[in-house]
């Protein structure tokens, strides 16, 4: 099985590729539309600013490539910023709109209550949808995952929230709709729980 790791210059691509390869998949790090089309599944990692990421995706002609493959029902996983880009807009963005795969906005944590921003480090995942294929085998017995972000997704349709996390407020940490999955944390850095999530993605039918 070939899984495209989309390289647009703003992702933790090698760690993601290594995690995918642990479960027998063949990761292909690429920014070529033809490569993405030839793969069975694809992953959009992301670290950095929303505007910069969308500029790179547009400049490299990857926006339509991503949308085309999603429309063909290929499994897609967005990680951290890669998940935020699935939404329509972000408070961080000054000029760019998101991919609009999911309705909703990306919003910033408030510092009003002394909250440290960015939210960085380990936190507990609370599974909302036990039937989410990405979360198979993940229980609510304190599974810890690694976060590094100042913004979080606020989807228009709360039914797509598959898991949450508490950081002074409860925010969506996993989104799911049909063949599209998004995680706000970094599964490739989240040890046992994160690798279980990567394995679930690799094994998706």
The rounded distance, in Å, linking the Cα atoms of 158 and 142 is 23
Beta pairing partners, 165: 171
CATH number, domain of 175, equals 3.40.50.880
Residue from 80, 149, 165, 196 carrying the catalytic annotation: 80
3-class state of residue 55 by DSSP: helix
* pLDDT for the residue 142: 65
For residue 149, indicate whether it is catalytic.
Answer: no
Give Cβ neighbours of residue 131 (< 8 Å, ≥ 6 apart): none
- Tens of each residue's pLDDT in the chain, 205 residues: 999 999 999 888 999 999 999 999 999 999 999 999 999 999 999 999 999 999 999 999 999 999 999 999 999 999 999 999 999 999 999 999 999 999 999 999 987 767 888 999 999 999 999 999 999 999 886 689 999 999 999 999 999 999 999 998 999 999 999 999 999 999 999 999 999 999 999 999 8
* pLDDT for the residue 110: 85
Half-sphere exposure in the Cβ direction for 70 (13 Å, CA): 22
CB crowding 70-88: b at 16 or more within 10 Å, else e: beeebbbbbbbbbbbbbbb
Structural domain of residue 100, as residue ranges?
2-203
* pLDDT for the residue 113: 66
Per the structure, the count of domains in the chain is 1
Residue from 39, 119, 149, 188 carrying the catalytic annotation: 188
The rounded distance, in Å, linking the Cα atoms of 83 and 156 is 15
Residue from 119, 132, 186, 196 carrying the catalytic annotation: 186
Contact present, 188 and 16 (Cβ < 8 Å)? yes
């Amino acid at each position: 099985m070939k899984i495209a790791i989309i390289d647009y210059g703003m992702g933790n691509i090698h760690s993601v590729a290594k995690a995918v390869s642990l479960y027998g998949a063949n990761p292909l790090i690429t920014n070529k539309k033809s490569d993405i089309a030839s793969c069975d599944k694809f992953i959009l990692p992301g670290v950095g600013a929303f505007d910069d990421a969308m500029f790179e995706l547009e400049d490299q002609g990857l926006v339509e490539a991503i949308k085309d493959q999603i429309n063909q029902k290929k499994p897609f996983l967005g990680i951290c910023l890669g998940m935020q880009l699935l939404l329509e807009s972000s408070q961080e963005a000054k000029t760019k709109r998101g991919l609009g795969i999911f309705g909703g906005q990306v919003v910033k944590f408030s510092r009003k209550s002394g909250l440290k921003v960015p939210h960085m480090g380990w936190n507990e995942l609370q599974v909302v949808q036990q039937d989410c294929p990405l979360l198979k085998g993940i229980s609510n017995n304190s599974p810890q995952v690694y976060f590094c972000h100042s913004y979080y997704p606020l989807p228009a349709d709360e039914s797509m929230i598959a898991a949450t996390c508490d950081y002074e407020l409860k925010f969506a940490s996993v989104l799911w709709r049909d063949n599209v999955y998004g995680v706000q944390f970094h599964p490739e850095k989240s040890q046992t729980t994160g690798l279980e999530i990567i394995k679930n993605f690799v094994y998706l039918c």
